[in-house]
Structure 1
Amino acid sequence: MRSSLRLTALVFFFGGCVFPFAALGNEVGITKDIPFVDVTHDGVPVRIQRIQDKENRLVDDFAKTSRPCPPFCIHPMATAPGVETVGELEVLEFLTQEVKVGKGLLIDARMPEWYAAETIPGAVSIPFVIFHKDNPNLENILQVLGATRSGNAGWNFSKARTLILFCNGPWCDQSSRAIKGLLAVGYPANKLKSYRGGMNLWRLLGLTTVVPRKAEAP
């Protein structure tokens, strides 16, 4: 993806007006030309930008350098053959180019309690365990993702959405397991992408996160 060019056009061209970076007041930009990106999360507009406090430090679990391995081992850059690994700028472009128009989904593959605590704006929660081939609900999920049944031959993914999946970071295997589960049922590798940095790198860069709204009791 050629993120810098397309993102610049998306962010700065509001109603035919181009805004100079300095006029927007962000000393800590996403790139030298991009101060923020506007997206929608659960129907609510959210502005993704970096924390402007230049003294800010991580102080929670994402500040840890060491976790027991196994299970929290460092994972390779490539999740599987044909599956692209992306970074933060590619995630932002994906949100504005693919998710916005319904062609893609940013999937938080962590367990629900992680998603409920904090996630990337625009992400939806589909825990990695859902993508196991023996899960009776997998068929419904695949249909939501745009796949259709192709007789006894399995699934037709020609209209399936492109997905970026993430979890807690390079030491977390939840998104990798989700991707491998999708590949096992035939989801095309070229429609799957891995944001390996996950929440750990997103937080380390001071990018905006959201706490999803809890469903109201009936």
Structure 2
Amino acid sequence: MPLPILPPIALLLSLALPAQAADPSAGLFDLDALEVKITPTLPYVEVPHGEQSVLLMRHQDPAHTIVSPYQKTARPCPPYCVQPMQIAPGVETLGELELITYLQEAAAAPSEVLVIDSRTSEWVQRGTIPGSVNIPYTRLDPAYANPQQIAEILQLEFGAVAIDGLWDFANVKTLVFFCNGAWCGQSPTNIKALLGLGYPAHKLKWYRGGLQAWEQLGLTTVAPVDSGP
């Protein structure tokens, strides 16, 4: 189950922390004493999610296991086929540490980075990555959305400019896409659609591992923040 969006200390109190991580004299947890860190020098990061602040960290309970449905390994292909490591020329494939860096960049004000959960509602409600926004892949897929709907997202959310029927992508945001995992085609569908419109490949990033890899590492998930209908 995704963690609720809570203020940082309240969020920590909801986690199973090791006894030595607590500082009884201060009445607070010593975050630097966490036993399960992201890296040896990075125990956690704090990112905004909607109007709240969330501590992005790894689960501290040694008995914690991967939650459903991400423990499942057999899914019919098609449609759930293994994606290549490079989804398209010029589009960078990210791991978890690179994604966390982009989440921190997305938290800046103003930010030129947008981290996008491409999944549809029934998946997103199970939990998403803090600091991301949900833009279901159907809103950018010409098979589901009409050109006007796609154009609105390009202009209002990504920073593209329409000039005489053409797109100017000179000042668009860097978009970081993810979905359910290496077997998920939702974020790859969006990336390919944007490339087809002329969006610069170097401004498109892909977290291939998605929620399945995120859950495998016990990283924080939260309830979604919707970008739009």
Cα contact 1:36–1:48 (8 A) shared by 2: yes
2:187 is matched with which residue? 175
**93-102 vs 188-197, which moves further:** 93-102
Give the Å deviation of 1:23.
6.3
Cα contact 1:74–1:171 (8 A) shared by 2: yes
Give the Å deviation of 1:163.
0.5
The correspondence of residues 147-162 of structure 1 with structure 2, limited to 5 A, is 147-152=160-165, 154-162=166-174
Q: 1:55 to 1:186 in 2, by over 3 A?
A: same
Q: 1:92 to 1:185 in 2, by over 3 A?
A: same
2:56 is matched with which residue? 48
**67-76 vs 94-103, which moves further:** 94-103
Q: Give ranges in structure 2 of 5+ residues lacking alignment.
A: 1-29
Give the Å deviation of 1:56.
1.3
Normalized against structure 1, the TM-score is what? 0.84
Q: Indicate the percent of aligned positions where both proteins have the same amino acid.
A: 46
1:119 aligned to 2:128?
yes
Give the Å deviation of 1:113.
2.4
Cα contact 1:168–1:200 (8 A) shared by 2: yes
The two structures, once aligned, show a CA RMSD in angstroms of 1.6
Give the Å deviation of 1:167.
0.3
Deviations 1:113-146 (A, max 9, x none): 2223310001111111211246230010000210
1:187 aligned to 2:199?
yes
Query: SS at 2:191's partner residue?
Result: helix
Looking at structure 2, the residues matched to 124 and 213 of structure 1 have their Cα atoms a distance apart, in angstroms, of 6
Q: Which runs of 4+ in 1 moved over 6 A?
A: none
What amino acid is aligned across from residue 108 of structure 2 in structure 1? K
Give the Å deviation of 1:176.
0.2
Q: 1:57 to 1:175 in 2, by over 3 A?
A: same
Normalized against structure 2, the TM-score is what? 0.80
1:90 aligned to 2:98?
yes
**90-99 vs 197-206, which moves further:** 90-99
The correspondence of residues 53-132 of structure 1 with structure 2, limited to 5 A, is 53-101=61-109, 102-132=111-141
Looking at structure 1, the residues matched to 75 and 224 of structure 2 have their Cα atoms a distance apart, in angstroms, of 27
Deviations 1:163-217 (A, max 9, x none): 0000000000000001001111111101000000000000110000001368xxx
Looking at structure 2, the residues matched to 33 and 166 of structure 1 have their Cα atoms a distance apart, in angstroms, of 26
Deviations 1:22-80 (A, max 9, x none): 86221000001100010000010000000001221114110011111111111100111
Looking at structure 2, the residues matched to 180 and 64 of structure 1 have their Cα atoms a distance apart, in angstroms, of 27
Query: SS at 2:125's partner residue?
Result: helix
